[in-house]
Homo-oligomer: A and B are copies of this chain.
Amino acid sequence: MHEGAVVGMADGYAQATGRPVLVNLHAAAGSGNAMGALTNAVYSRSPLVLTAGQQVRSAIGLEAMLANVEATQLMRPLVAWSGEPSCAEDVPRSLAQAVFEAELHRRPSYLSVPYDDWAAELDANAAATLERTVRRGLTPSEAQLDDLVKTVEAAKNPALVLGGDVDATGLFDRAVALAEHLDLPTWVAPSPHRLPFPNRHPLFRGVLPAGIAPISAALTGHDLVLVLGAPVFRYHQHVPGAYLPEGTRLIQVTDDFGAAARAPMGEALVADPAPVIEALLKQLPARATQHDYVGNPAPKTGEKALHPEQVFAALRDTQAADTRYVVESTSTNSAWWRQMDLRREGSYFFPAAGGLGFGLPAAVGVAMGSPDRPVVGVIGDGSANYGITALWTAAHYRVPVTFVILRNGVYGALRWFGELLGTPDVPGTEIPGLDFTSIAEGYGVPATTVTGEADLRDQLKTTPDGPRLIQVDTEPTTPE
């Protein structure tokens, strides 16, 4: 019902399954609609293969209605590659290229196909395209691995920083093994869109703050920081300072060429993190230590409405341990990490570029992509509107997903930001009058508003076999 919601679903599906996903879009306007959601897919590194219709070849230059003018430029700079075959004969190869570019770069690609090309006969070479495979060999050399192992071995107080790629490439458990093996204090890289490490693990030190000086402060005392599968760093707030503490050496291992090239500090090794983890596990001795998980603090409580921590504690207590959460509620970020206890890979998904409209559709896509695990979307009342039509898809395909809408009636992140800047009365941050139960039912999704903690917990304990929406009034909070 909107290409933005479709790409959000595809992003969720791709993240849940770890595989490329084909998304077929309308030409110019439809492709344009997708571009907001696409920014998230860029930073979640989802290999979406977007195809788009195009007018008949002879009508493109005329700018006939629905022509995609300069189609190969439209999606830039977001996509890894975009193309429009120069002739019908080149369509199969171009489509294969779109897939391979998306996979090689782990980034969306885009192919515009003129309408009349679909009527052309395949030639004999098309079969050669079907049989193609393209793989990457991004293992460090033995010498590079040895060098890394020695460096870690020699460090007095090394630390680990893990990025979303660790979870996205199935390394969650191996990262835990590595941290435990070497008894490494472990952070999650700032602005995370995935959770690569259990957040109540005793070695977990938290999500790094997203400012230059605060990161430096957090890492002070470590002579070596090993960053796996993350940019260094995805700052958000501008808090100037030294990039690293005096005397700290940083080594980044990532398969993201751009992230390596543009980083302001550190030594980068462009490679898959997996063989690095395995080499460290194999070549360095284990430090025998006990690792008991840490309990959550008692949730804060609200006065006029539930505090978000109460909601999250209820989720923690009632939902299965392997539940996947798709979260798009910026202003409850701090509450979230205090109350949740996520120990399985693939438990957490957040809009990777901070673009609103991911959460609700991605929850649908994640649920479609992982029928064996429960899925809960935790969505703010502002955010929910940006991808609201995914509700229809959830209803139409009876996707088993629970949407928890935190309704606090304000655009919390912006209001907080305004307060930080000394402008507490930013206009337009009040968003009263939204009733998501009504909206959801308009789209065919059963919905309730819960009136207290007990009611919430009761609702959460039930397990419908299709989608449902639970609206919870909550007190406004700030991200930090």
Which A residues have a C-beta under 8 Å from some C-beta of B?
A: 1-4, 28-40, 55-66, 69-70, 72-74, 76-78, 81, 83-87, 89-90, 93-94, 97, 100-101, 104-105, 114-116, 124-125, 128-129, 131-142, 144, 190-191, 210, 231, 234-236, 238, 240, 242-244, 257-272, 275, 351, 353-357, 382, 385-386, 388-389, 392, 395-396, 431-444
Contact = CB atoms under 8 A, between A and B. Distances in A.
Given A31-B36, A125-B242, 20 more contacts: A1-B431, A29-B39, A58-B90, A61-B94, A61-B97, A62-B264, A65-B210, A76-B76, A86-B114, A100-B268, A116-B238, A128-B242, A128-B265, A134-B261, A135-B144, A135-B269, A136-B271, A137-B138, A395-B433, A438-B442
B438 A191 contact: no
What's the number of copies of this chain in the assembled complex? 4
Contacts of A257: 101, 104-105
A355 B101 CA distance: 27
Nearest to A92: B264
A339 B55 CA distance: 31
A232 to B, nearest CB: 9
Nearest to A68: B39
A132 B268 contact: yes
Contact of A29 (B56, B73, B105, B356): B356
A424 B39 CA distance: 35
Contacts of A114: 86
Contacts of A1: 382, 385-386, 431
Among A63, A76, A116, residue most surrounded by chain B Cβ atoms (within 10 Å): A63
B443 A89 contact: no
A419 to B, nearest CB: 16
Contact of A442 (B266, B396, B435): B435
A64 B242 contact: no
A269 B139 CA distance: 12
Contacts of A97: 61, 261-262
